[in-house]
Structures are given as structure tokens and as C-alpha cells.
């Protein structure tokens, strides 16, 4: 799909106005229920946290989680380098946090923070975990699938845990004013 704001790309239904159809298609795709997460990555002696909404469980056995990451993102570089990532599930009350991870992070080694937020290394892979996340999954890349401008990383869940009460409401796209995707 084209990046938000670029020229519409087909296919289009016969006799459809490409610009208007692209707007309609985006609105329909924005209606897909979607969570917002923070992906932790580590590679080449760097750590990063990145806001993402393209996350889903894709297999029961083995337990696989898919995350789609744009190829020009630092997170893509780091996941490719070390083959690990975390998915941090965010508390609905922490919606402001997602805007803090839309660009590569600044790490403060002494304070153990990324963009000012406390983190620790996941016990199995060493990818970063947000201390205030509701829950997390820690993954090793099982397969990487080229999907155009992004790579779909399929990660085998090697560790998972809750860090807050299991009943905590988690962040969803509709909890924000963001419209990403489509």
C-alpha cells in the first residue's frame, strides 16, 4: 500500500475515481480493530523501541507473533541483525507513550531509560522491555517475509509475562487520534 499521502495505487474498481476510492479504502481499513504496541529491538550493540500497530498472533503451534516493520526503520535493521524482538502491550491510560517511540530512541545507559522511559533487557533474548508495559512477549525470529515496503517478522514466543494486572485495559488505535494504515 502506498505511504500515507502518496499517490493512490490500484487496483481500482472499474469506473472508480482513484483518489476518492483510495480515501474510501483507507477509511474501511482504519475500521479494522487494531492495538498499539511498542516493539523492542536490539542489534549491532543498539537498542530501540518503536510504536507499531501491525502485530498479531499468526500460529498456535509453535506460538508465533507477526510484526510488520518498514524496511527503512531502525527497528528493521536491528531485528535483522540479531533476530530478536519484544512486543510490549501498553496500558490504555499510557496512550501518550506511543508518540515517544515514532523515531529512533535516545538511550541513557546510566539511568536505564530509552527516551526517558525505564526499560530492562528481556531475560531470554535481551531485547528491551518497557517497565510500564502491561505485558510482553519476547521473540526470536522464526521467519522473515518480504511484503513490499515492509518485512513481516514471524517471531517464536520464547517468553511472555504480565507486568500489571491481567485485567488492565490495553491501548487500541481508536483510543488515539491516529489513523495509520490503509
How far is residue 1 CA from its own chain's centroid?
17
What span, in angstroms and rounded, lies between the C-alpha atoms of 17 and 47? 44
pLDDT of residue 156: 98
Query: What was the pLDDT predicted at 3?
Result: 47
Render pLDDT for 116-152 as a digit per residue (tens, 0 to 9).
999 999 999 999 999 999 999 999 999 999 999 999 9
Tell me the pTM: 0.86
Q: Compute the 3-state secondary structure of the chain and give helix, strand, coil in percent, each to the nearest 5.
A: 20, 40, 40
Q: Determine the pLDDT at residue 179.
A: 57
Contact 51, 1 (CB under 8 A): no
The confidence score (pLDDT) of residue 30 equals 73
Query: For the chain, what are the domain ranges?
Result: 1-31, 34-175
Domain 34-175 belongs to what architecture? Roll (2.30)
DSSP H helical segments within 31-94, as ranges?
A: 74-82
Q: pLDDT at position 79, please? A: 98
CA distance 88 to 154: 16
Q: Report the distance separating Cα 112 and Cα 42, nearest Å.
A: 14
For 5, 12, 17, 26, 61, the CA distances from 22, given in Å and listed in that order, are: 10, 8, 8, 6, 37
* pLDDT tens digit at each of 182 positions of the chain: 344 556 777 787 888 898 999 889 888 877 777 789 999 999 989 999 999 988 999 999 999 999 999 999 999 999 999 999 999 999 999 988 988 999 999 999 999 999 999 999 999 999 999 999 999 999 999 999 999 999 999 999 999 999 999 999 998 877 776 655 54
Amino acid at each position: 500500500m502506498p505511504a500515507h499521502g502518496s499517490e493512490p495505487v490500484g487496483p481500482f474498481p472499474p469506473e472508480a475515481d482513484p483518489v476518492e476510492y483510495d480515501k474510501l479504502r483507507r477509511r474501511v481499513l482504519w475500521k479494522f480493530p487494531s492495538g498499539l504496541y511498542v516493539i523492542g529491538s536490539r542489534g549491532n550493540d543498539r537498542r530501540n523501541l518503536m510504536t507499531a500497530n501491525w502485530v498479531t498472533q499468526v500460529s498456535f503451534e509453535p506460538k508465533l507473533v507477526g510484526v510488520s516493520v518498514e524496511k527503512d526503520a531502525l527497528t528493521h535493521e536491528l531485528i535483522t541483525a540479531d533476530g530478536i524482538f519484544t512486543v510490549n502491550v501498553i496500558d490504555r491510560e499510557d496512550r501518550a507513550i506511543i508518540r515517544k517511540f515514532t523515531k529512533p530512541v535516545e538511550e541513557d545507559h546510566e539511568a536505564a531509560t530509552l527516551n526517558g522511559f525505564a526499560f530492562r533487557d528481556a531475560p531470554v533474548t535481551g531485547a528491551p522491555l518497557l517497565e510500564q508495559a502491561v505485558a510482553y512477549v519476547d521473540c526470536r525470529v522464526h521467519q522473515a517475509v518480504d511484503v513490499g515496503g515492509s518485512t513481516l517478522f514471524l517471531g517464536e514466543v520464547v517468553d511472555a509475562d504480565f507486568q500489571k494486572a491481567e485485567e488492565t485495559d490495553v491501548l487500541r488505535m481508536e483510543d488515539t487520534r491516529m489513523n495509520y494504515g490503509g
